[in-house]
Chain A
Amino acid sequence: MKGLPVTCDGVVFRYGPDAAPMRFDCTFAPRTITAVMGPSGSGKSTLLSLIAGFERAESGHILIGGDDITGKAPGNRPVSCVFQDNNLFAHLDAGTNVALGISPALKRSAEDEARVAQALEAVDLAGYGARMPGSMSGGERQRVAIARALVRERPVLLLDEAFGSLGPALRESMLDLVADLQRRTAMTVVMVSHDPADARRIATDLVFLKDGTVGAQGPVSELLNGHANAEVNAYLGSQRLPS
Chain B
Amino acid sequence: MLAALCLVAVGALVVQAGGAGGAGAVLTDPVVWRIVRFTLWQAFWSTVLSVGLALPVAIAITRMADGPVRRAVLALFALPLALPQIVAVLGVVALYGQRGFVTGLAERAGFDPPSIYGLTGILIAHTFFNLPLAARIMHGALALVPAEYERLSAQLGMGALARFRLIEWPAMRPAAAGAAALVFMLCVTSFAVVLILGGGPRATTLEVALYQALTFDFDIVRAVVLTLLQLAVTIGAVALFAFAGGSVEAGMTISAGASRRFAGDRPAGAILGGALTLMAVLYVGAPFVAILASGLASDLTDLIVQPRVRRAMLTSLGLGLCAAALAVGLAYALSRGAAEMAAGRRFSGRPAFTETVLTSAPSLILVVPPIVIAAGWFIALRTVTNVYDAAPYLVITVNAAMAMPFAARLIHPAMLAAEERNGRLCAHLGLAGMARWRLVTWPVLRAPLVAALAFALALSLGDLGVIALFGSEQVQTMPYLIMQRMGAYRTQDAAGLALILMVMTMALMLAAEHFARRSRTMVTEGSSE
Interface residues of A (CB under 8 A from B): 49, 52-56, 73-77, 79-81, 83, 85-87, 89, 91-92, 100-101, 104-106, 152
A-chain residues with CB within 8 Å of residue B33 when the two chains form the complex: none
Q: Which of B146-175 contact A (CB under 8 A)?
A: 146-149, 151-159, 161-162, 166-167, 170
**A85/B146 in contact, CB under 8 A:** yes
Complex CA–CA separation, A105 to B158 (angstroms):
6
Q: Is A52 a contact of B155 with CB atoms below 8 Å? A: yes
Q: Is the CB of B152 within 8 A of A76?
A: no
Residue B265, interface by CB 8 Å = yes
Instruction: For residue A147, give the distance in angstroms from its CB to the closest CB of chain B.
Output: 14
Residues of B near A52 (CB, < 8 A) are 151, 155
- Chain B contacts of A76 at CB under 8 A? 157
Please name all residues of chain B whose beta carbon is closer than 8 Å to the beta carbon of A104 when the two chains form the complex. Answer: 153, 156-159, 162
A87 contacts B166, C-beta separation under 8 Å: no
List 17 interface pairs A-B (beta carbons < 8 Å), by A numbering. A52-B151, A52-B155, A54-B151, A54-B262, A73-B154, A75-B154, A75-B157, A79-B155, A81-B151, A85-B148, A86-B146, A87-B148, A87-B152, A89-B152, A89-B167, A104-B153, A105-B158
Question: Shortest Cβ distance from B153 into chain A, in angstroms?
Answer: 7
For B153, list chain A residues within 8 Å (CB).
104
Nearest residue, chain B, Cβ from A83: B148
Closest 10 CB pairs of A and B: A75-B157, A86-B146, A86-B148, A74-B154, A104-B158, A105-B162, A104-B156, A54-B262, A91-B170, A74-B155
Contact, CB under 8 Å: A100 / B148: no
Shortest CB-to-CB span from A73 to chain B, Å, is 6
Indicate the member of A56, A76, A91 with the most B CB atoms within 10 Å: A91
Given A73-B265, A86-B146, A89-B166 in contact, is the A81-B152 Cβ separation under 8 Å? yes
Contact status of A100 and B149, CB under 8 A, knowing A89-B166, A89-B167, A105-B161: no
Q: Once the chains are docked, how many angstroms separate the CA of A53 from the CA of B167?
A: 20
Closest to A76 in B: B157
Chain A residues lying within 8 Å of B264, measured Cβ to Cβ, are: 73-74
Q: Which B residues touch A75, using CB under 8 A?
A: 154-158
Q: Are B154 and A92 in contact (CB under 8 A)?
A: no
Contacts of B166 on A, CB cut-off 8 Å? 89, 92, 100, 106
Binding site for A on B (CB under 8 A): 146-149, 151-159, 161-162, 166-167, 170, 262-265
Bound-complex Cα distance A76 to B153 (A)? 12
- Counting chain A CB atoms within 10 Å of each CB, the highest count among B157, B263, B265 belongs to B157
Give complex CA distance A238, B262 in Å: 38
A106 neighbours in B (Cβ, 8 Å):
162, 166
Do A86 and B265 touch (CB < 8 A)? no
Cα-based distance from A91 to B145 in the complex (angstroms) = 12
> Can you name the residue of chain A whose Cβ is closest to the Cβ of B262?
A54
Q: Residue of A at shortest CB range from B145?
A: A86
Give the docked Cα–Cα distance between A85 and B528 (Å). Answer: 14
Closest approach, in angstroms, between the C-beta of B334 and any C-beta of chain A?
33
The distance from the CB of A98 to the nearest CB of chain B, in whole angstroms, is 11
A105 to chain B: which residues have CB within 8 Å? 158-159, 161-162
Which of A73, A77, A105 has the largest count of B CB atoms less than 10 A from its CB? A105
Given A74-B155, A105-B158, A106-B162, 5 extra CB contacts under 8 A? A49-B262, A74-B264, A79-B155, A81-B151, A89-B149
CB of B145 to closest CB in A, whole Å: 9
B156 to chain A: closest residue by CB: A104
- Known A-B contacts A85-B148, A89-B167, A100-B166; the reply to A55 vs B154 at CB < 8 A is no
A190 to B47 Cα, complex, angstroms: 50
Beta-carbon nearest neighbor of A77 in chain B: B155
- Which residues of chain B have C-beta atoms less than 8 A from A91's C-beta? 170
CA distance A87 to B161 in the complex (A): 20
- Which chain A residues border B156 with CB–CB below 8 Å? 75, 100-101, 104, 152
**Chain B: minimal CB distance from A17 (Å):** 12
- B157 cross-chain contacts in A, Cβ below 8 A: 73, 75-76, 104
- In the complex, how many angstroms separate the beta carbon of A201 from the nearest chain B beta carbon? 25
Looking at the assembled complex, report how far the CB atom of A41 sits from the nearest CB atom of chain B, in whole angstroms: 13
Q: Which residue of A lies closest to B163 (CB)?
A: A104
The answer to whether B155 and A81 have CB atoms under 8 Å apart is yes
CA distance A80 to B155 in the complex (A): 7
Residue of A nearest to B153 (CB): A104
Cα-based distance from A55 to B262 in the complex (angstroms): 7
In Å, the complex CA distance between A213 and B263 comes to: 24
Closest-by-CB residue of A relative to B150 is A54
B-chain residues with CB within 8 Å of residue A54 when the two chains form the complex: 151, 154, 262
Minimum CB distance partner of A80 in chain B: B155
**Alpha-carbon distance A184/B159, docked complex (angstroms):** 32
Q: Which residue of chain B lies nearest to A84 when distances are taken between CB atoms in the complex?
A: B148
Task: Compute how far the CA of A66 lies from the CA of B158 in the bound complex, rounded to whole angstroms.
Answer: 26
List of B residues within 8 angstroms of A83 by Cβ: 148, 151
A15 to B167, CA, bound (A): 27
Nearest A residue (CB) for B147: A86
Name the residue on A nearest B261 (C-beta): A54
**Bound CA–CA A122/B508 (angstroms):** 60
- How distant is the Cα of A76 from the Cα of B158 in the complex, in angstroms? 11
Residue in chain A with minimal CB distance to B260? A15
Q: For A79, list chain B residues within 8 Å (CB).
A: 155
Min C-beta distance of A222 to chain B, whole Å: 33
* Closest Cβ neighbor of A158 among chain B residues: B155
A86–B158 Cα distance when bound, in Å, is 17
Minimum CB distance partner of A55 in chain B:
B262
**Chain B residues within 8 Å of A85, by CB:** 146, 148
Structural contact, B161 and A74, CB atoms closer than 8 A:
no
Alpha-carbon distance between A81 and B166 when the two chains are bound, in angstroms: 19
Complex Cα gap A91–B168 (Å)? 11
Give the chain A neighbours of B152 by CB distance below 8 A: 81, 87, 89
Q: How far is the CA of A16 from the CA of B146 in the complex (A)?
A: 22
* Residues of B close to A87: CB separation below 8 A: 148, 152
In the bound assembly, the distance between CA atoms of A75 and B170 in angstroms comes to 22
Bound Cα distance A100, B157 (Å): 9
Q: How far is the CA of A55 from the CA of B170 in the complex (A)?
A: 26
B158 cross-chain contacts in A, Cβ below 8 A: 75, 100, 104-105
A79 CB to closest chain B CB (Å) equals: 7
Give A239 to B44 CA distance when docked, in angstroms: 67
